[in-house]
Amino acid sequence: MSGLMPGLPSGTAALPAWRLSAYYFFYFAFIGVFSPYFSLYLASIHFSAWDIGIVMSVMQVMRLAAPYLWGWLAEHRGSTMPIVRIAGVASLLGFCGFFFTHAMTGVFVAMALMAFFWSAALPLVEALTLNYLGPQAGRYGRIRLWGSVGFIVAVLLTGALLDFAQPSVVLWMSLAMLVGIMLCALAVPERRHVVQHTSLRLRDVLKQTKVRALLVSCFFMASAHGALYVFYSLYLVAHGYSKTAVGILWTLGVVAEIVVFCVMPRILAKFNLRQILLFCCACAFVRFLVIGWCVEWWWLIAAAQLLHGATFGAWHASAVSAVSKFFPHSLHARGQALYGSISFGAGGMVGGLISGWVWEPYGAAVAYTLSAVCGLLAGLVLWLSYDAMPAAAVSE
């Protein structure tokens, strides 16, 4: 797979656009199978809500610790793709453990092994993609949107299969996506660059108020999504939605995400990052209150899913752009890894565990209300601590 992505200027001739796009496609296709439906599989083998929360949180624990380790190793070695390739093979082998056990201990170990290596790859690929794009980082969304396409394909196909197939189909679909990730990792070339020496160290960057505020806010925003990623599918099925309908609702959110990624260069050119992130926090507050209290009205649930374009799409693109600006080139890999660890790792873990803790004794409405509060806290941190930035310079 080679050639330029349509719309990219001729100056980016070295950009392996389709190979990077294919990697994002399979990486997020795996999430499209795993995140909405693995909890259904766990429920089918008689795991309780608390057990499901614990197992799913293992993924977030590994995303907390592993990316920074792998990011440091990549910077120390001066290359990223060998680590991404090893991670692709090892995560595939770790996932195979799910086929051999239904015991809590075995599932826990298989999840830990798979997640430790799987979580290594994305921050490194993000840094590699931004390295290829250089000053045209605003075009990141046009490559990343293929990840959203992969998510849509996977979530719709798996949802349709689950309406007549056994829940174990989730394992086979996930395995197929991991094979795709491994093959694409073998195809993406390394990007060598001359390191720009800087006197800034990581701790110097982290002393900046705007950097700390961004990372804390990312933690709360990821926590806000904990109940969504762990229990949303179970929640909808329990209220009479078919699994096909569940897949369609997940797809609505990702379609909104794709639209946002397509127009993100224009948004970044008109608004500063703080304004965009604050708007995303307001959307998160509204979205999770609607999900928690209005599940009987499908059209409100559908509207809430469209807000995923803001609460994840615009948020993630803006956060990645901010991290790229705040961390010097020599710290890009660790900067992206730190962003992933604090948000998807720590934030996702806390959000998943809290939702698992309150789900059965207090109900879904309380869990999603806590999600809305986390979105509000993310906005409060930005409002109080994160000074406005000038609009990003993005070329069309």
Residue 1 has what pLDDT?
A: 33
Residue 135 has what pLDDT?
A: 62
Are 321 and 313 a contacting pair, CB within 8 Å? Answer: no
Determine, yes or no, domain membership for 391. no
What's the domain count of the chain?
A: 1
CATH number for 92: 1.20.1250.20
Measured in degrees and rounded to the nearest 5, phi and psi for residue 272 equal -80, 165
Rounded distance, CA 388 to CA 382, Å?
9
Q: Which domain holds residue 211?
A: 15-189+202-385
User: In the Cβ-directed half-sphere of 291, how many Cα atoms lie within 13 Å?
Assistant: 34
- At residue 367, what is the residue type? A
Residue 295 has what pLDDT?
A: 95
Residue 352 has what pLDDT?
A: 83
CB atoms within 10 A of CB 46: 8
Is 0.85 topped by the overall pTM? no
Residue 298 has what pLDDT?
A: 95
Determine, yes or no, domain membership for 27. yes
Q: Is 225 helix (H, G, I), strand (E, B) or coil?
A: coil
Determine, yes or no, domain membership for 20. yes
Determine, yes or no, domain membership for 279. yes
Q: How does pLDDT run along the chain (396 residues), one tens digit per residue?
A: 333 333 333 344 466 778 888 999 999 999 989 988 898 899 999 888 888 888 887 887 787 777 777 777 777 776 778 888 999 999 999 999 999 989 999 999 999 999 989 887 887 888 788 777 766 655 677 788 898 889 889 988 998 898 888 999 999 999 999 999 999 999 888 766 544 555 567 788 888 888 999 999 999 999 999 999 888 988 999 999 988 898 899 889 988 988 998 888 888 888 888 899 999 999 999 999 999 999 999 999 999 999 999 999 999 889 988 887 888 877 777 787 788 788 887 888 889 888 888 998 899 999 999 999 999 999 999 998 866 554 443 333
Determine, yes or no, domain membership for 78. yes
Output helix, strand, coil percentages for the chain, rounded to the nearest 5. 80, 0, 20
Rounded distance, CA 184 to CA 177, Å?
11
User: What's the full length of the chain, in residues?
Assistant: 396
Determine, yes or no, domain membership for 343. yes
Are 226 and 354 a contacting pair, CB within 8 Å? Answer: yes
Residue 305 has what pLDDT?
A: 96
Beta strand extents in 201-333 (DSSP E only):
none
Cα maximum dimension of the chain: 60
Determine, yes or no, domain membership for 394. no
Determine, yes or no, domain membership for 65. yes
